[in-house]
């Protein structure tokens, strides 16, 4: 389940680079003790398992420990499990992984975890050193040492460093990996915490630099200061040397808004301040804040993703937009001169317009150019746009990789036209290149192989959904596979929040599944972003069933091709993907031989009353209204029928998940267990929404899932 975009504190690492360099199992669209659920609706039927919504209660945790012990006894007691867990842990801890970096001033920073540094090191080096096979690193913050000294369990959430000298950083740390965190000021010259510096208590929110002595702060200021979604409702300007209680209100949203934030753009020559009001996913307002504190609304559609870079306002449209006598289709990227737009002009240039096969994956600015990353049938293609007196010039990106998933991010948009480029697919380890636009990319790093990929090959197929829609999916299968329907096959999916699933190298999947001879498939179902806003919007609210019909169509296609059969076909998904697999479990049980449901939503009658659930009503609807008529058709907790047969199931979640409440998994487990179904459960005490707080925990949970799936789907002989 994603965070609202404004909730993503500026971090030390580019998300695109990080995703391309990952070696773990597929990520879920990745604070203080998770709060309990809000009060139930007056008219809601009695729920005998609602007591499990008390996250940290003694009785509840005793129930969790009992379930965990049963799962461990079944899955984790064998030498084979220990071997797999150790192999995955060695992959995650490998010194040979590519250290993704972010340029901060003259240095290149990386956050690194391995066996000796379970919580991690924030470290830096020079570009000259980084080019070497074994760079010399200077440790800036040792999180394991900090935890030992303070008796804490901090998990790294990122650092926001003040331009142009980069002498001070605002470092975010989370207890156990939850979304809520603290922010502490750090002195980069002495590599020490600033005594009496800026400090934000544990909550969802952030601090952001304005200048050395002023920050924006949006956090929990006390009763009434958070939205119904559990995010900040008020943003203030806080001056050094004064108590946070004296901070001055910049903007105050409404209780039913989603997230309020402000940020300072410190681009040289274009310094500006902005306020962001997120009403819901895909619905936000943006304001320019004047020197006197007045706010001027950027009068662009609420549904558009809005960004300002130097002279330009760029809009990524999610709905058609009429401006200047023209209509720009949904999925387009358009640009106008920012000052002209604020003065009332509506003259836009179309930078990208989607087709039935293409969508905009991302874009990144360099000093003089804009690089577009486009998906064409879930395959990346890069191009370069350059603004000039005569308009925007367009050309292909010279030397761009021609295979797999490509990620591109600027190295330093203020100072250079250099970009990082990553390339990977399911069988090819990631490469990291450095490219000056206009020149051939220089390969800097190549990840080693973590499993034998020579035995498998990648294919793309299209399944036909119930309404005739062609749904792409990727297939990683053994070469020369005998099509007799007996091959253990793992199908993964997400299908929500306009998040695309593109090919990526996973050492865990390779070691835990492919090397055993299994087939791995990834479904690009509606609800995702593979074909832009239209693909996402096709499965919203009352059309949610289309995402599940798509996934079922992919499953049937795998079966019809005799790649596998229901008793050999397993599925896995987390967060919104956990809602997906929960619906597969309850609506299509005959198609599957095993189901893994991770950090899921399942009780869709109460999801909006638990933790951050209210923020997702734009995706699913509001159960307190007539929306419940369609929501109940995809609420696995209510669709469960004790008289039906269901495939063996594993639920996993985290006590520290303060985004998706662990009670979803707890209650579904309890209901199925009481009905005598073949079900097991594992709840990690740390880990937040990602499920694990360090590599050891991640390896353990990955090994549990792979062991369960292989035990259920493989031929015992």
pLDDT exceeds 80 at position 228: yes
Q: Find the mean pLDDT for residues 384-402.
A: 93
Q: Find the mean pLDDT for residues 556-573.
A: 98
Give pLDDT, residue 660: 87
Give pLDDT, residue 390: 87
pLDDT exceeds 80 at position 635: yes
- Compute CA distances 439 → 364, 400, 418, 434, whole Å: 17, 10, 10, 10
pLDDT band at 3 (very low <50, low <70, confident <90, very high): low
- pLDDT tens readout for residues 281-315: 899 999 999 999 999 999 999 999 999 999 999 99
User: Quick one: tokens of 252?
Assistant: 């105050």
Q: Are residues 400 and 542 in the same domain?
A: no
Q: Are residues 443 and 484 in the same domain?
A: no
Count how many domains the chain has: 2
* Domain finish residue from 448, 463, 498: 448
Residue 484 domain-assigned (yes or no): yes
CA 671 remoteness from chain centre:
29
Give pLDDT, residue 696: 87
Share the mean pLDDT of the chain: 92
Give pLDDT, residue 13: 25
Residue 677 domain-assigned (yes or no): yes
* Domain finish residue from 397, 426, 448: 448
DSSP-derived secondary structure letter, 455: T
- pLDDT tens readout for residues 656-686: 888 889 999 999 999 999 999 999 999 997 5
pLDDT band at 402 (very low <50, low <70, confident <90, very high): confident
- Compute CA distances 176 → 34, 72, 213, whole Å: 11, 22, 30
User: Quick one: tokens of 418?
Assistant: 């250099």
Residue 143 domain-assigned (yes or no): no
- CA nearest neighbour of 216 among 231, 234, 202: 234
Tokens 């309404």 locate to 467
Residue 432 domain-assigned (yes or no): yes
pLDDT exceeds 90 at position 591: yes
* Domain finish residue from 406, 432, 448: 448
Label each residue of 531-598 as H, E or C: CCHHHHHCCCHHHCHHHHHHHHHHHHHHHHCCCCCHHHEEEEEECHHHHHHHHHHHHCHHHCCEEEEE
Q: Are residues 441 and 489 in the same domain?
A: no
- pLDDT tens readout for residues 482-517: 999 999 999 999 999 999 999 999 999 999 999 999
pLDDT band at 182 (very low <50, low <70, confident <90, very high): very high
Give pLDDT, residue 42: 38
pLDDT band at 366 (very low <50, low <70, confident <90, very high): very high
Q: Residue 561: how many CB atoms within 10 A of its CB?
A: 15
The answer to whether 203 and 35 have CB atoms below 8 angstroms apart is no
Give pLDDT, residue 715: 81
Q: Is 674 exposed, middle or buried (0-12, 13-18, 19+ CB in 10 A)?
A: exposed
The answer to whether 170 and 198 have CB atoms below 8 angstroms apart is yes
| DSSP H helices in 1-54 | 15-21
Residue 426 domain-assigned (yes or no): yes
Q: Is the preceding omega at residue 164 within 30 degrees of 0, hence cis? A: yes
Point out the least confidently predicted range of 23-32, 125-134, 446-455, 456-465: 23-32
- pLDDT tens readout for residues 60-85: 999 999 999 999 999 999 999 999 99
DSSP-derived secondary structure letter, 658: S
Angle at CA 704, nearest 5°, toward 570 and 557?
10
Q: Find the mean pLDDT for residues 690-713.
A: 87
With a pLDDT cut of 70, the percent of the chain lying above it is: 92
E-state strands within 389-486:
391-396, 405-410, 418-424, 431-436, 442-446, 456-464, 470-478
Q: Are residues 436 and 566 in the same domain?
A: no
pLDDT band at 717 (very low <50, low <70, confident <90, very high): low
Sign (positive or negative) of CA dihedral 535, 537, 540, 544: negative
The answer to whether 662 and 614 have CB atoms below 8 angstroms apart is no
pLDDT exceeds 90 at position 519: yes
Supply φ then ψ for residue 462, to 5 degrees. -130, 125
Give pLDDT, residue 693: 56
Q: Which residues are catalytic?
A: 575, 689
Q: Are residues 506 and 439 in the same domain?
A: no
- pLDDT tens readout for residues 405-458: 999 999 999 999 999 999 999 999 999 999 999 999 999 999 999 999 999 999
Q: Are residues 485 and 418 in the same domain?
A: no
Give pLDDT, residue 33: 29
Residue 75 domain-assigned (yes or no): yes
Q: Are residues 395 and 517 in the same domain?
A: no
Q: Are residues 677 and 613 in the same domain?
A: yes
| Partners of 492 in the β-ladder | 522, 572
Give pLDDT, residue 95: 86
pLDDT band at 44 (very low <50, low <70, confident <90, very high): low
Q: Are residues 430 and 550 in the same domain?
A: no
Rounded Cα distance between 497 and 94, Å, is 32
Residue 119 domain-assigned (yes or no): no
Using DSSP, how many helices (H) and how many strands (E) does the chain show? 15, 39
Give pLDDT, residue 45: 62
pLDDT exceeds 70 at position 535: yes
Supply φ then ψ for residue 92, to 5 degrees. -65, -35
Point out the least confidently predicted range of 89-98, 459-468, 600-609: 89-98
Residue 294 domain-assigned (yes or no): no
List the domain range (segments joined by +) for residue 668: 57-90+479-713
Tokens 């389940």 locate to 1
Give the domain CATH number at 526.
3.40.50.1820
Contact partners, residue 598, CB within 8 Å, separation at least 6: 28, 572, 573, 574, 575, 577, 578, 651, 652, 653, 691, 705
Rounded Cα distance between 293 and 295, Å, is 6
pLDDT exceeds 50 at position 11: no
Give pLDDT, residue 659: 85
- CA nearest neighbour of 115 among 139, 94, 145, 144: 94
Q: Are residues 505 and 399 in the same domain?
A: no
Rounded Cα distance between 394 and 392, Å, is 6
Q: Are residues 443 and 485 in the same domain?
A: no
Angle at CA 414, nearest 5°, toward 413 and 415?
100
Give pLDDT, residue 656: 82
pLDDT exceeds 60 at position 36: no
Higher per-residue pLDDT: 35 or 524 = 524
pLDDT band at 178 (very low <50, low <70, confident <90, very high): confident
Give pLDDT, residue 4: 60
Q: How many residues does the chain have?
A: 717
Q: Are residues 520 and 668 in the same domain?
A: yes
With a pLDDT cut of 90, the percent of the chain lying above it is: 86
């Amino acid at each position: 389940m994603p965070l609202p975009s404004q909730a993503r504190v500026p971090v030390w690492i580019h998300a695109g680079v990080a995703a391309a360099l990952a070696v773990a199992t597929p990520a879920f669209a990745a604070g203080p003790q998770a709060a309990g659920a809000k009060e139930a609706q007056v008219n809601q039927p009695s729920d005998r398992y609602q007591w499990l919504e008390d996250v940290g209660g003694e009785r509840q945790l005793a129930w969790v420990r009992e379930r965990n012990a049963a799962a461990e006894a079944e899955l984790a007691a064998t030498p084979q499990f220990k071997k797999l867990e150790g192999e995955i842990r060695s992959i995650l801890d490998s010194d040979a992984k590519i250290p993704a970096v972010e340029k901060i001033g003259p240095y290149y920073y990386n956050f690194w975890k391995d066996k000796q540094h379970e919580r991690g090191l924030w470290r830096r080096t020079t570009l000259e050193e980084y080019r070497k096979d074994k760079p010399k690193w200077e440790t800036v913050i040792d999180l394991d040492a900090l935890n030992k000294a303070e008796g804490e369990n901090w998990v790294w959430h990122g650092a926001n460093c003040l331009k142009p000298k980069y002498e001070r950083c605002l470092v975010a740390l989370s207890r156990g990996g939850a979304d809520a965190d603290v922010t502490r000021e750090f002195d980069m010259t002495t590599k020490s915490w600033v005594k009496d510096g800026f400090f934000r208590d544990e909550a969802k929110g952030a601090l952001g630099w304005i200048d050395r002595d002023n920050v924006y702060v949006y956090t929990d200021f006390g009763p009434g200061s958070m939205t119904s979604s559990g995010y900040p409702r008020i943003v203030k300007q806080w001056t050094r040397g004064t108590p946070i209680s004296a901070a001055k209100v910049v903007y105050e949203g409404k209780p039913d808004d989603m997230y309020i934030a402000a940020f300072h753009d410190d681009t040289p020559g274009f310094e500006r301040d902005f306020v962001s009001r997120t009403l819901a996913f895909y619905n936000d307002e943006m304001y320019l804040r004047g020197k006197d504190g007045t706010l001027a609304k950027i009068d662009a559609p609420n549904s558009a993703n809005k960004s300002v870079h130097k002279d330009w306002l760029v809009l990524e449209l999610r709905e058609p937009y009429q401006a200047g006598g023209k209509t720009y289709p949904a999925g387009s990227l358009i640009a106008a001169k920012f000052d002209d737009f604020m003065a009332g002009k509506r003259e836009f240039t179309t930078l990208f317009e989607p087709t039935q096969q293409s969508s905009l994956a991302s874009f990144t600015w360099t000093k003089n150019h804009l690089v577009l990353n486009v998906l064409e049938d879930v395959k990346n293609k890069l191009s370069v746009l350059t603004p000039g007196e005569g308009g925007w010039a367009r050309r292909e990106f010279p030397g761009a990789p021609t295979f797999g998933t490509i990620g591109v991010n600027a190295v330093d948009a203020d100072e250079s036209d250099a970009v990082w480029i990553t390339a990977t697919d399911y069988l090819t380890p990631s490469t990291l290149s450095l490219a000056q636009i206009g020149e051939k990319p220089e390969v800097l790093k190549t990840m080693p192989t973590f499993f034998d990929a020579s035995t498998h090959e990648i294919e793309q197929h299209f399944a036909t959904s119930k309404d005739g829609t062609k749904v792409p999916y990727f297939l990683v299968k053994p070469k020369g596979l005998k099509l007799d329907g007996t091959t253990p096959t793992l199908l993964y999916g997400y299908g929500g929040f306009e998040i695309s699933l593109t090919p990526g190298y996973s050492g865990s999947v390779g070691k835990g599944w492919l090397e055993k001879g299994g087939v791995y498939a990834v479904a690009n179902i509606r609800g995702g972003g593979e074909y832009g806003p239209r693909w996402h919007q096709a499965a919203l609210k009352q059309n949610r069933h289309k995402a599940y019909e798509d996934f079922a169509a992919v499953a049937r296609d795998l079966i019809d091709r005799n790649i596998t059969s229901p008793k050999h076909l397993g599925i896995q998904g987390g967060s919104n993907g956990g809602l997906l697999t929960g619906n597969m479990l309850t609506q299509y049980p005959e198609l599957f031989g095993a189901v893994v449901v991770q950090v899921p939503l399942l009780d869709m009658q109460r999801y909006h009353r638990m933790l951050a659930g209210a923020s997702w009503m734009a995706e699913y609807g509001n159960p307190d209204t007539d929306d419940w008529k369609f929501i109940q058709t995809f609420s696995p907790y209510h669709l469960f029928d004790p008289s039906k047969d269901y495939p063996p199931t594993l639920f996993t979640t985290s006590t520290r998940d303060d985004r998706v409440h662990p009670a979803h998994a707890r209650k579904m487990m309890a209901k199925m267990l009481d009905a005598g179904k073949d079900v097991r459960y594992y709840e990690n005490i740390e880990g937040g929404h990602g499920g694990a707080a360090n590599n050891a925990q991640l390896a353990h949970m990955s090994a549990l899932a792979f062991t369960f799936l292989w035990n259920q789907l493989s031929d015992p002989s």
